[in-house]
Structure 1
Amino acid sequence: MIGATEGRPAGPRPASGGPTDADQERMGLLVDAIAPRVTCLAGTIFDRASTDETLLRRRVVQCLSIGLTACAQARRPGEEDRHALRDAGRAIARTGGTPPTLVGVHSVLILGHSEALRACQDLAVPGAFGDRLKGGAGLLLQLSEEIAACIDEGYTEERDARNDNGSRDRPIDALCTLVTGETNSLWRPHLTGIVKTAGLERMFPAVMALTCGSVGSDAGGRAPELHYGRSLRMITAPLSHPEPHTLLLCSAENTGQFLSWLDRNAPATTVYTRAVGFDEAPARYRTTRDLLPVGNALGGGKRLLNARTLLWQRMLASQRPEYLRDYTEEVIGPILQLPADQRTVLLETLDSLDSSGGSVRRAATALNVHEKTVRYRVGRIETLTGLNALSRTHWSQLHRAVQLQAVHPAPRTAGT
């Protein structure tokens, strides 16, 4: 590989001219041949929210064409390619979509590269071209990073241009206003419409964190969207009432990265919640905000604190009924919001597992259902709460919440 040092392939060369007509034709044939399979296998990673198969295929084809051509020529994407990628990012922002993450782009390129090498034999592509394509395998990650960055640049430019419309009508400000409850009921439908039109509700379910003071860029009290790497996107909102603190929101699918970022960057006591839905976010915000003042006393010197742990400790210290409900809603709130028949089934399953000592077989017998049914329900409980009912670590939290719910039913459960 050109410029390789110490066994590591060098980065792609700067673009010094486009591919030859022959190479373009060969790459076009390869991409046409592999695009259906790559879209089928990696399309959901590239764009999880897409419902338009034609549009998804077109974006995958663009990514493959630019990435594999640059790979075969051991060069960076050309300026024309970068411009096309930025345009793709702008188009995603205009439709309220989410740009592909680095993982999504790399999945498409690495699978596409493998499929293209196989297709070279089927399509009788000259060996020299196949050898160059194979030799560029070590550049795929770097090319993926550049492609993802270009798309994200266009997306960010378009989003910022669309969002820069003044205070309350700016989608990010509207979202933070809704979450913090700093509006009256007459404004809520209007603000909700702004948020949904911009597609911001798609980041839910989201993990919420509150930290004392400020974190990141204050941006004059506005609520800018921050980027960390190319796969983590979060929103931060500096707030002044009742005490200065910062609200941070991040999609639940990036929870691990979000918590790692907080652990490194949060300057003071920070409390984070389970994944919350769009409609329940205001209630969880209020509960979590009330925990911030007691975080230092109950957190044992830790800076990053789980709201579940703090709520349990606060409840033990005070025994106030409203604190019992706060704890049950933090732990099993998504279950309590289900329709009565679905809620009852899951709570009965948790109760049966408790009585059976965590045995799926005995719980299935007691419930008169198949073991697979119990395991399905356990999986759904984990999807809703983030807690595995068969894990010793998680079971104590679920057990306590179910028992407290039986004694002090939460008033905000779904209709019975």
Structure 2
Amino acid sequence: MTSQDTATDARVVAACETLLDDLDSLTLRMARLIREDEPYYVDYMTERQLADAIRPNVISGLQNVIQNEANRPTVARRTGRERAEHGVPLATVMHAYRIGTLHLWHELVRQCSPDPGSSQALLGSASVLWNSLDMSSQALTTAYRDVETEQLFRDSRLREAALASLFSGITTNGRGLADVAAALRLPKVGLFVVVASDPQAMEQNRPSVSVERALSSLGVRSVWRSEPDSELGLVAFTPAHRTDRLDRYLASITTGRVGVSEVFESIVATPQAVTQALLARDAVPAGSNVVMRFDEARVAALVTSVPEVSVGLARQVLGRVLELPVDEQEVLLDTLDAWFTTGGSARDAGHRLHCHQNTVRYRLNKLAQLSGRDLRRPGDVTRLYLALEAVRLLPDQVRE
């Protein structure tokens, strides 16, 4: 609080009191001026509402002049909070504040102008009025920023809750997923995929929020959420940005496994797509840097979705193979994998392994003897394939 050593001239006090006696017309004139210069207020408030909002600020300003001191701007703080809560731009609020104070000064000058002595005395009070404006502007701005910070924190919490509901399908406030989508500014229908990556799989300098911004710059709407075991994202496609472009983009920024669900058309299918994306990610061996689509990983997803069954199958089918020294295990399992990859061709498998096809046949016969399976029987081939996938995807559990 700043104080003056002398009391306000009685003629200036009388001018202030005259204006206080005519507050209705004074504030209406101010409201009219503000609405003419700041069109925002035309839609935001009626002239009467704006005049009523101006009234406490005018009273405070005139009382400061009467008391010859710039008091703590409580009214300005309240105004700042109210305008921020209603979303009025800060620059608009500050401009309106200056318009109102300037008009108040002109009215004081008009009241004092017939008397040269009063006008001279008013100059002595000018510093109080403009110092009050400065203090009020600072207080108003601080209060406005405080509300912005509070809203940002509240909005962040609401957004996080909405994302949790979207990806889990569980809402705690009775709202459906369609309402949650609206809160996140997502379409209810369209073409979507869910993306699931390992934690911290996105490049360190491009966390999930940066991925969201980067996709937004391409015209692609997405939302992302960090969870303890994954980074989850929902991507809404556009005609110009479909799955192949998304795959290339994800491959360029990831340093781990990424799974992508099937394309779906309704936002309410998001929780099921999360499951697909996680299964697709887990269908890739840990430590890999691969983008895997669910429709390309159904068998592997089947293996990882029921690990106990898959581990039991691997031990039952390949138990004797897994008892061999590690080097021998790898030779036999790599040969079986190459044989499956080449569609059961010993010659092509040999090319992949850089060995003769007869060597491939020898290794496959040895594996068949150890496993008790016949590579000519579809049922045995199926079991060998699933067991091999279990060894590939769940190596630590299989070899426990």
Q: Which TM class, normalised by the smaller chain length?
A: 0.3 to 0.5
Q: TM-score, normalised by structure 2?
A: 0.34
Q: Which has the larger radius of gyration?
A: 2
Q: TM-score, normalised by structure 1?
A: 0.33
